[in-house]
Structure 1
Amino acid sequence: MKKVYLSIIFLAGLISTGCSANIDHPTISKNTESAYEETFNDLALGMLFDFNFHLPEADKRWVTLWVESYSNGERDPQPLTQLSYGNNPVEVEKGNLGFGIINPDGEDSMVFLYGPDVKSAPEKVERELNQGLLATWDYAIGEEEVELQLGETKILAAYRKSAGNSMRTIDYQDEESVTSIIEEGETVLLLKIKVEEKESEFYSN
């Protein structure tokens, strides 16, 4: 009986340690059936990537959300759009976070980003997104909730245009696969996020 009690205590300790190890990490998951996406689709505004975002210790952390743009194998020197915020007065922040493209197939495309209680104003895209025969947009994470490591960049979603007659499916968490579609000359937009434990108002690679 003593061994049973010791085993229970040991297991409880492991569970407690595991929970305490993960509780401080930000998490994100895709939210494909959210009211945000339904409204966007119902009004035929364009396309929207929506996520559930959970940020512990929000009062000590900084979030950078941005969209990298690639064409003809080269990355544009500046992000297509970006949103940077942090040091929230609340300790735990949670809510919707995402990226939208208004009228992606037209001449007056606009993009915007948003997070819990913060958003960017829609910005006109200076370059055309409607070049190419085929277009596809995908979430870059799976169905499960993803834990974000502090200081690391994570690809959340992608929008692609190709002048060819076919497009292959890739793993956006595989760097070589992403590099290959960029080098093939596709127009590629990558939604990325980074959470840091420092105060910063500037985008960094």
Structure 2
Amino acid sequence: MCLSKRIYMILFFLLVFLLVGSGCSAEENTGDQPTITKNPDSEYEQTFSDLNLGVLFHFDFYLPQADNRWVDIWVEKYSDGKMKAEPLIQLSYGHSPDSVQEGRLGFGMINHDTQTPLLFLFAPGMSTEPEVIDKQSDTETITWNYTIGEEKTELELGEEITLAAYREKEGSSIRTEDFQDEESINRIIEEGDMVMLLKLKVTEESPEQ
């Protein structure tokens, strides 16, 4: 089996596991406020690491009043201090038949250290098709991290939040940055590094809209 077919098969089974288990949560959630929690020690991130597939950001997402709310997830790319006009990849959904929706949400990048990585997004019960992009970046140093803390994060309706950041920089060394600090992320972008930001926004809409 060639490498590309192997990767697609692994990704297919990984997404099946992510979607099948999308209704499960490690922690009981209550209340009317949407929340998200990073899960860097999940078996799915471990699988990505063990198989040397690339980068995976995994979160536990809780969405109450899901039948009246809309979710947007997308990845922005910045290069030479400027944002690409359109998101690299995006996923939008809402008006669920269920009043509460919770499960796994995240972003994966296969072969991240090549010029043409595969990107995909996943959310409770759904995912995007893997999409090949041209990074147009020839760098030597790569780093990535979550941009939210260890504790459960409450989401404000209508406000976008940055969940994770991926960075590529020329040269053999890279300064450690606090990815949880918005000023640090803005400084990295202004310095001209290639940066990808995973973002999320929850809005409240009625089913009639």
Q: How does 1:158-177 map to 2 (within 5 A)?
A: 158-177=165-184
Q: Deviations over 1:151-174 (max 9, x none)?
A: 011000000001134333334454
Between the aligned partners of 2:58 and 2:37, the Cα distance in structure 1 is: 9
The equivalent of 1:59 in structure 2 is: 67
Between the aligned partners of 2:69 and 2:120, the Cα distance in structure 1 is: 22
Asked if residue 145 in structure 1 is aligned to residue 167 in structure 2, the reply is: no
How far the C-alpha of 1:46 sits from its partner, in A, is: 0.8
Contact kept, 8 Å, 1:155 with 1:172, in 2: the verdict is no
The equivalent of 1:17 in structure 2 is: none
The one-letter amino acid of 1:80's match is L
Asked if residue 188 in structure 1 is aligned to residue 195 in structure 2, the reply is: yes
Identity between Structure 1 and Structure 2 (%): 52
Pick closer, same or farther for the CA change 1:96–1:122 going to 2, 3 Å.
same
1:26 aligned residue (10, 30, 34): 34
Count, aligned residues = 178
Moved more, 72-81 or 39-48: 39-48
The equivalent of 1:43 in structure 2 is: 51
How far the C-alpha of 1:199 sits from its partner, in A, is: 6.6
Question: Higher Cα Rg: structure 1 or 2?
Answer: 1
Unaligned runs of 5+ in 1: 1-21, 201-205
Secondary structure of the corresponding residue to residue 174 of structure 2? coil
Pick closer, same or farther for the CA change 1:199–1:134 going to 2, 3 Å.
farther
Contact kept, 8 Å, 2:146 with 2:180, in 1: the verdict is no
Between the aligned partners of 1:186 and 1:121, the Cα distance in structure 2 is: 27
Contact kept, 8 Å, 2:158 with 2:204, in 1: the verdict is yes
Between the aligned partners of 1:107 and 1:36, the Cα distance in structure 2 is: 24
Contact kept, 8 Å, 1:86 with 1:199, in 2: the verdict is no
Between the aligned partners of 1:46 and 1:173, the Cα distance in structure 2 is: 22
Q: How does 1:49-198 map to 2 (within 5 A)?
A: 49-129=57-137, 131-198=138-205
Q: Taking structure 1 as the reference length, what is the TM-score of the superposition?
A: 0.82
Unaligned runs of 5+ in 2: 1-29
Between the aligned partners of 2:151 and 2:127, the Cα distance in structure 1 is: 25
Instruction: List, as ranges, runs of 4+ consecutive aligned residues in structure 1 with deviation greater than 3 Å.
Output: 169-175
The one-letter amino acid of 2:183's match is E
Q: Taking structure 2 as the reference length, what is the TM-score of the superposition?
A: 0.80
Contact kept, 8 Å, 2:145 with 2:179, in 1: the verdict is no
How far the C-alpha of 1:23 sits from its partner, in A, is: 1.4
Between the aligned partners of 1:107 and 1:146, the Cα distance in structure 2 is: 33
Between the aligned partners of 1:108 and 1:172, the Cα distance in structure 2 is: 25
